[in-house]
Amino acid sequence: MPVAAKLQRAKPSTRPRPKTAVSRDKAARTERNCSVARTLDIVSDAWAFLIIREAFFGTQTFEAFRSALGIPRATLTDRLRKLTQLAIFRQVASGSSQRKEYRLTKMGFDLYPSFIALMQFGDRWLAGGKPPPLTLIHTPCGCDSHPRVTCSYCGEAVGARDAKYRDGPGAGRSAAKEGRNTRRASDGSRFLTGRPSSVSRALEIIGDKWSFMVVREGFFGNRRYDKILNELAIAPNILTDRLNRLVASGVFRRRQYQSSPDRHEYLLTDMGLDLYGPFIAMLRWGDRWLAKGKPPLILTHLACGHDFEPSVDCDRCKQPIVAADMRYRLAYDPRSFGALGPRSVD
Q: What distance lies between CA 288 and its chain's CA centroid? A: 15
Model confidence band, residue 22 (pLDDT cutoffs 50, 70, 90): very low
Q: Could you tell me what percentage of the chain is helix, strand and coil, using 3-state DSSP and rounding each to the nearest 5?
A: 40, 20, 40
pLDDT at 141: 97
Whether pLDDT at 128 is above 50: yes
- At 237, the amino acid letter reads N
Whether pLDDT at 336 is above 80: no
Contact 202, 119 (CB under 8 A): yes
Mean pLDDT of 286-296: 97
Model confidence band, residue 6 (pLDDT cutoffs 50, 70, 90): very low
Please state, for a pLDDT cut of 70, what percent of the chain lies above it.
85
Q: Which 3 state secondary structure label does DSSP give 6?
A: coil
Q: Which of 187, 177, 256, 189 is nearest to 213 (CA)?
A: 177
Give the Cα separation of 30 and 40 in Å (integer): 17
In this structure, of 92-96, 184-188, 234-238, 269-273, the range with the lowest mean pLDDT score is 184-188
pLDDT at 319: 97
Q: Which of 321, 332, 329 is nearest to 137 (CA)?
A: 329
pLDDT at 192: 86
- Tens digits of residue pLDDT in 238-286: 999 999 999 999 999 999 999 989 999 999 999 999 999 999 999 999 9
Contact 117, 277 (CB under 8 A): yes
Contact 164, 315 (CB under 8 A): no
pLDDT at 338: 60
Q: What distance lies between CA 105 and its chain's CA centroid? A: 19
Which residue did the predictor score with more confidence, 8 or 297? 297
Contact 323, 109 (CB under 8 A): yes
Beta bridge partners of 165: 299
Question: What are the structural domain ranges in the chain?
Answer: 31-345
Give the Cα separation of 299 and 284 in Å (integer): 10
